[in-house]
Structure 1
Amino acid sequence: MDFTSFVGIISGLALIVSAILYGSSDISIFVNVPGIMIVIGGTIAATLFTFQFKDTMAAFRAAAIVFTQDKQNPQQMIATMLQLTRVARREGLMALSREKADSPFLQRALNMASDASDEDYIRHTLQADIDSLKMRHYVVQDVFKKMGMYAPAFGMLGTLIGLIQMLSQLNNPEAIGPAMAVALLTTFYGSILSTVIFQPIAGKLKARTILEIQTLEIIRDGTIAMMGSNNYLAVYERLSSYVPAHQRKPVGLRD
Structure 2
Amino acid sequence: MDILTLVGLIAGVLIVVLAMLANATLLTFLNLPGLAIVVGGTFAVTLVKFRLSSVMGAFKLALSATFTERVDPPTALIREVSELARVVRKEGILGLENHSTQNPFLRKAINLCVDGHAPELVEEALAQEIQQTAERYEVSERVFRGIGESAPAIGMLGTLVGLVQMLNTLDDPSSIGPAMAIALLTTLYGAFIAQLIALPLADKLLLKAEDEQRNQMLIATSIRNIMRGENPRVMTELLSSFVNPEHRSGLTPERES
Please indicate the TM-score interval, normalised by the length of the shorter structure: over 0.9
Shift of 1:71: 4.2
Q: Which residue of 1 aligns with 2:30?
A: 31
Give TM-score scaled by structure 1 length.
0.93
Shift of 1:140: 1.2
Asked whether the equivalents of residues 5 and 66 of structure 1 are also in contact (C-alpha less than 8 Å), the reply is no
Distance 1:249 1:80 in 2: 16
Shift of 1:138: 0.9
Amino acid at match of 1:56: V
Give TM-score scaled by structure 2 length.
0.92
The DSSP-based 3-state class of the residue aligned with 1:230 is coil
Shift of 1:105: 2.5
**Structure 2 unaligned regions, length at least 5:** none
Shift of 1:99: 2.5
Q: Which residue of 2 aligns with 1:210?
A: 210
| Aligned residue pairs, count | 254
Distance 1:15 1:66 in 2: 25
- Structure 1, 80-89 or 187-196: larger mean CA deviation: 80-89
Asked whether the equivalents of residues 78 and 239 of structure 2 are also in contact (C-alpha less than 8 Å), the reply is yes
Q: Which residue of 2 aligns with 1:188?
A: 188
**2:225 is aligned with 1:221:** no
Q: Which residue of 2 aligns with 1:152?
A: 152
Amino acid at match of 2:92: G
- Structure 1, 8-17 or 227-236: larger mean CA deviation: 227-236
Distance 2:65 2:11 in 1: 17
Q: Which residue of 2 aligns with 1:51?
A: 50
Q: Which residue of 2 aligns with 1:61?
A: 60
Amino acid at match of 1:253: E
Shift of 1:98: 3.4
Q: Which residue of 2 aligns with 1:21?
A: 21
CA RMSD of aligned residues (A): 1.8
Kindly provide the CA deviation profile for residues 54-101 of structure 1, in whole angstroms up to 9, marking residues without a partner as x.
211111111211454214122221121111112112212221233233
Distance 1:8 1:40 in 2: 22
Q: Which residue of 2 aligns with 1:252?
A: 253
Distance 1:115 1:45 in 2: 47
Asked whether the equivalents of residues 81 and 219 of structure 2 are also in contact (C-alpha less than 8 Å), the reply is yes
The DSSP-based 3-state class of the residue aligned with 2:21 is helix
Distance 2:25 2:15 in 1: 17
Asked whether the equivalents of residues 63 and 205 of structure 1 are also in contact (C-alpha less than 8 Å), the reply is yes
Distance 1:230 1:99 in 2: 19
Shift of 1:118: 4.3
Asked whether the equivalents of residues 225 and 238 of structure 1 are also in contact (C-alpha less than 8 Å), the reply is no
- Structure 1, 216-225 or 83-92: larger mean CA deviation: 83-92
